[in-house]
Every structure is written in C-alpha cells, then in structure tokens.
Amino acid sequence: MRYLHFGSHWIQGAMRLARPWALELDYTREMMAALLLRPDTEWPKSALLIGLGAASLTKFLHRHRPETKLTVVEIDADVVHVARQYFKLPEENERLRLHIDDGASFIATTQQRFDLILVDGFDENARTGMLDTLPFYLNCKARLSSSGLLVTNLLSKRKGVKKSMERLEEAFEGRAIAFPSCDSGNVVAFAATGNSITHSLAELKTLAKQLKAATDLNLQPTISRLEQANRCPAGKLQL
C-alpha cells in the first residue's frame, strides 16, 4: 500500500501497488454508490472531480466508465505531479482533462454541465474552505444535468456534519441524504437534480451484486449500514 499525506497525519489517498485502479479507502468506495443510485451503465456521460488526491476516483472511473468524459480540478500543481509519479494518474487525453484551479472558482465560472460532480477537497489540516458552503452547493446544482448527482465527502471526526447537511438540503431543496459515517469518520452525502431516484433495498442489493461483478467494487456493506441506520424509510431510498 502507498499512502498520500499533505505533511500531516490525515490520509489524503491510498493505492494498492498491485491494483492501482481499485478503491482502497472506505469513503472512496462509498462515493461510488452514485453508480447504484443512477444505475444506467452509460451514466455518467460527464463527471467533474474536485480534489485529485491520489487519483483514486479518477482512476476507477477512467477504467470502468470508458465513455465518461472526466474533468479534474486540483488547486495544487504539486498534487498532480505526485499523482503522476507515485499513484499512476493516467495521461491527459480526450477522456481526461486536468485543471489547476480552485474548485469553488471553477464551478462558479464554468459553462459546462455534468452528470456527476464528486467533491473530495481538503487541505493538510482537513479543512474544506469554500467547498462546504451554500454558494458552492448552489453553483454545483446549477452545473448538474437533468440526471445530475453531487457526491461530497464530509469529515465528521473534525466537525459535525449537521450544518453541512443543512446547507446541502437548502441548495437542493431537500433532495439530499447523508450515508452513515464510515469507520474512518467520513460521511458521504448525495444530492440530486432532475429525475427522481427511488430504489428499494432489494433493488439496491441486486444492483450492488451487478456492480461488483462488473468492477469488483463491493457495496453490500454500505447497503447493510443504510438498512441498520434506518436511512431507507419503508424500505426505500428516495432522493
């Protein structure tokens, strides 16, 4: 295993040398539950990733969603260099574009629309800056397509996520849900635009089996935690 740190004890990314495209950290796997909520295998057609880290999410989508156009925004050029040298970040091409920019500034000015926006941006002290504010979430909503989904990593061990969820729910008019906290303390939150999302727990379990067969990503533990935490009233996840 190889780990990425920004000069502190906080782990910013991880890679198994024998399987560089696999998702090793719990919260990165949970962020890919987006593929259960929007199970069309041709979705997402476009994805924006804010925060590169060890490029885990980028590599996973690059490998398993070959038709997806990926846009990655990373504020620190050194992180991009490290990801290329030590974490097997793929080279830029027509499928993958990298921008050295502030994520909040990028989303406020871009005219692109995305099916999926993944937000995983922290500094060396696990601070998110503008990436956990109402204006940022409103800008994300404005840049999502009619089948849009925002997924954001919230770190509950540093602070509670109640205020974050209040901002997310306000921006998305209530269409937001926080999954139960991972063992690492990360809480992954989802917010949707456009077409409604409704899946029974049985459907989610079937979709998880199909996703595991296709990508080797096991999200059955995530579904079990959702069920145990009563996050699916009447046995359904609705967003």
Up-side HSE of residue 135: CA atoms within 13 Å toward CB?
9
Distance CA 187, CA 30 (A): 9
Residue 173 DSSP code: T
CB atoms within 10 A of CB 209: 13
Q: Are 49 and 131 in contact (CB under 8 A)?
A: no
Q: What is the DSSP letter of 60?
A: H
Residue 3 contacts residue 11 (beta carbons within 8 Å): yes
| Per annotation, catalytic residue among 101, 120, 183, 216 | 120
Whole-number Å distance between alpha carbons of 79 and 120: 13
Q: Catalytic site residue 183?
A: no
Q: In Å, how far are 2, 12, 58 from 72, measured between CA atoms? A: 21, 16, 8
* Spatial distance between the Cα atoms of 158 and 150, rounded to a whole number of angstroms: 22
Q: Which residues contact 177 (CB under 8 A, 6 or more apart)?
A: 189, 190, 191, 231, 237, 239
Closest CA to 220 of 15, 28, 36: 36
Indicate which residues carry an active-site annotation. Answer: 120
